[in-house]
Amino acid sequence: MPTSGQDETLLLHLNEAIATLRDKEVLFQVITNKLRLIFPFDLIGINVFDKGLLNRRLFFKNYLITIPEPIPDFTADFTPIAGSPIEQLLVNPRVQYITLDEYARDYPDFEALNQLRQQGIQYLTLAPLWLNGHLTGYLMLAAARPPAFTPADETLLEKIASLVAIAVRNSLDFEEIARREQQRTLQLNITNALLSIKQREPLFRAIAEELGQVVTFYYFGIRVQRAGARGTYESFAEFTRPHEDLRAPLLALDPNRFNNNNNELAQLYNQVADLLQTPGLYAGDDFRALATRYPAMRYIYETHQVRALLIVPIWQRPDGAAVLMLASPTPAGFGPNDLGTVQALVPQITLALENLFAFEQIEELKAQVEQERTYLIDEINTDRPTDGLIGNSPALQLLRQRIAQVAGTDATVLITGETGTGKEVVARALHQASPRHSRALVKLNCAALPAQLIESELFGHEKGAFTGAVERRIGKFELADGGTIFLDEVGELPLDLQAKLLRVLQEKEFERLGGNRVLTTDARVLAATNRVLEDEVRAGRFRADLYYRLNVFPMHLAPLRERPEDIAPLVQHYLATLSKRLARPPRPIRPADLAALHAYPWPGNIRELEHVLEQAIIVSQGAWLEFGGFAAGPPLLALPPGPTPALAEVASTPPTPADGVPLKTLREQERDHILAALRHTGGRVSGAQGAATILDINPKTLEARMKKLGIRRTVVAG
């Protein structure tokens, strides 16, 4: 055994180590090595108690022998002293010698003792840790052989235990200081994130990353219960670590993960909602019991191997609730300090949620107000009858009847017809006659944007989704929620976007470009095209399933040449509105000119008529409306090829064929008119000097008409 001088030297060494070493593991490894030189033991452990001597936890443990299976830390967190062998040590705190067989008779179910005995440990030497007259814990030396301590050894062990008590207290104080410093740093970093990040996913990813520096977890999730959704918590932000790109595998509260009917699902939500109303730390046996009680928890226990769950409510109030959950695959994954750390963040997370809700609501309201403002301005500037349809031809009467039949429903309507026949006007009439008329009519021309931008226009995008996406953008389907969306030229959509449009029509769901949050829309869809979609489907350029989904209630608009009765009302309408808009005096139209307008085939339909009248109003100087002063190209009312007369001259000649010459069909009139325009442009179809510009129709429409009429550009150019 050591001499008195050796005892003093040992105590001095321990004092020096305690005074100079701050790393807990290094310090207690030094203490263990010094004790091993004096006392024989195979395992050393230090238990610390709380101030009330009600709970204890294992502060330090070290093996000095090789054992087949390491003994687990059953007391990594504070656990009750009552019901454990430690309670006997509090009766008479002194150096004690215990055989595990004796303790096993009194505590047969205490797992830590059984594990020690299975590894061959039979004897314990226990020394109380006193600090300023208070019992703070016990030093335990465990061995396979019986100890042989002399009174001098016991005295030395008591002195060493006093030094160990100081070392433990210092380490605990350092741990507390480090923990508080971590919390302050965490709160500061989260505050900085709140100030600099305004988007939902990047903000909460930053919060999860900062929290992960302090608390070890596998899953981070925030669930929100909206007002009026009792028990139904929706996913607001979910991440896993360290696989940050993995999208939330833990979906304990996701109804898609359970094959329940609505009643069973409601009960499931109600049960879990009650659990989420109070802070909780469920680990090991506690979480196993939770999984037995709640089907939702049993699912994540079995499917995702979760063994510890930390729950912190963010708020509970009449307009809903919010809760933060952390999960770990380790039974002892969370401790009381972790719960305290997360609870300390509740004010900041509350602020983050409220700010995001406010930002999102402001953006939605701003976009809706702007869209409705645009819509109202458009309506104010449109001087039309109530339904916007001008004329009384049988074709128009039938169209009005079809509008009345379908307007009150949410059925998808496909409007077809040549360019310029008024498809947008019909869409507006449908919207105005529907129950959705108080909300916006959102319009998108699918042919007016590059293919790569159409998806962003339809569904919106998140900041950074692509080069130039400097902020989040609300898509047309979001803007049209509760209203109507009109997709003009839908036949121009690329095939990949057709699939996404089909999803919106079927599921009412979509995602912003660059985002992973599923959004829903209650927009009524109206679509229009001047293409023959049946031909496009056969050619493989348009999806058959999308065509059938759009073609629920078809409406075909007759071209203007098939309803000449409507020309006079249209002329009177446009003369009144255009003269007012152009600030020109209203001028009457000569009967001969009106007759020429009736005789013309109007390949550009109503839009072409409007433009002809607009040009006539601009160039007219006398008392009558003049059609003969057009400067660019042949007069738009030119008759079949040959020298192009002025409109006044054409109007003065009755539009009848010479004797013996049969009257040309409308198809022949249209073919001759297109040929005249092509001869004038040298066969050029598109561009500023092309035939499509002269005829005021879409180049693709002109090419389709040329193909149908058997006109080849090369022949004309030659």
DSSP three-state, residue 58? strand
Q: How far apart are CA 619 and CA 521, in angstroms?
A: 48
CB distance 524 to 513 below 8 Å:
no
pTM above 0.85, yes or no: no
Listed residue (629, 619, 627, 620) closest to 599, CA to CA: 627
- Find, among 272, 186, 262, the residue nearest to 225 by Cα: 272
What stretches of 213-281 show up as alpha helix (H) in DSSP?
262-275
**pLDDT given for residue 260 in this prediction:** 42
More confident residue, 514 or 584: 584
Q: Which of 495, 494, 461 is nearest to 475 (CA)?
A: 461
pLDDT greater than 80 at residue 330: yes
- For the chain, which domains are there? 4-176 (3.30.450.40), 197-358 (3.30.450.80), 382-558 (3.40.50.300), 575-717 (no CATH)
Using CA atoms, how far apart are residues 259 and 236, in angstroms rounded to an integer? 22
Quick one: pLDDT at residue 57?
A: 80
* pLDDT at res. 375: 58
**Residues sharing a CB contact under 8 Å with residue 235, sequence separation 6 or more, in sequence order:** 221, 223, 248, 251, 253, 254
pLDDT tens readout for residues 436-491: 988 888 899 988 878 778 888 898 888 777 777 777 788 889 888 889 999 999 99
- For tokens 């310029």, the residue is 420
Asked whether the predicted pLDDT for residue 651 surpasses 70, the reply is no
Distance CA 704, CA 352 (A): 56
Q: Which residue has the higher pLDDT, 508 or 253?
A: 508
Indicate if the pLDDT at residue 423 is higher than 70.
yes
Instruction: Specify the higher pLDDT residue, 304 or 597.
Output: 597
Find all residues with CB under 8 Å of 514, minimum gap 6, and list them.
Answer: 461, 462, 463, 464, 465, 466, 469
Confidence of residue 3 (pLDDT cuts 50, 70, 90): low
The amino acid occupying position 607 is R
Q: List CB contacts of 501: < 8 A, sequence separation 6 or more.
A: 458, 487, 493, 546
Q: Compute the distance between CA of residue 584 and CA of residue 578 in angstroms, rounded to an integer.
A: 8
Q: Each residue of 280-303: pLDDT tens digit?
A: 888 888 888 888 888 878 878 887
195 vs 378 pLDDT, higher one: 195
Kindly give the pairing relationship between strand 441-445 and strand 484-488: parallel
Tell me the per-residue pLDDT of 225-248, one tens digit each, with 9 for 90 and over.
766 555 566 667 777 765 443 344
Q: Which residue has the tokens 């912003």?
A: 512
Going by C-alpha positions, the residue among 95, 106, 16, 28 that lies closest to residue 64 is: 28
Residue labelled with tokens 């693709």: 700
Mean pLDDT of the chain: 79
Residue 224: predicted pLDDT: 82
Helices assigned H by DSSP within 22-79: 24-36
Alpha helices in 224-345 (DSSP H): 262-275, 285-293, 295-303, 336-344
Residue 623's pLDDT is 86
Extract the tokens encoding 598: 């009736």
pLDDT of residue 38: 83
Residue the block writes with tokens 């299976």: 69
User: What's the whole-number mean pLDDT along residues 569-593?
Assistant: 90
What confidence score (pLDDT) does residue 533 get? 93
633 band by pLDDT with thresholds 50, 70 and 90: very low
Distance CA 529, CA 539 (A): 16
Average pLDDT over residues 93-106: 85
- Please tell me which residue, 642 or 237, carries the higher pLDDT value: 237
Asked if 107 and 84 touch (Cβ cutoff 8 Å), the reply is: yes
Which tops the pLDDT comparison, 2 or 431?
A: 431
Confidence label for 173 from pLDDT (cuts 50, 70 and 90)? confident
Say if residues 161 and 127 touch (Cβ distance below 8 Å): yes
- Which range is least confidently modeled, 12-26, 263-277, 509-523? 263-277
336: which residues sit within 8 A by CB, 6+ positions away?
A: 77, 78, 281
pLDDT number for residue 61: 80
Residue 529 has pLDDT above 90, yes or no: yes
Strand partners, 61: 45
Weakest mean pLDDT among 15-19, 651-655, 702-706: 651-655
- Cβ neighbors of 450 (< 8 A, separation 6 or more) are none
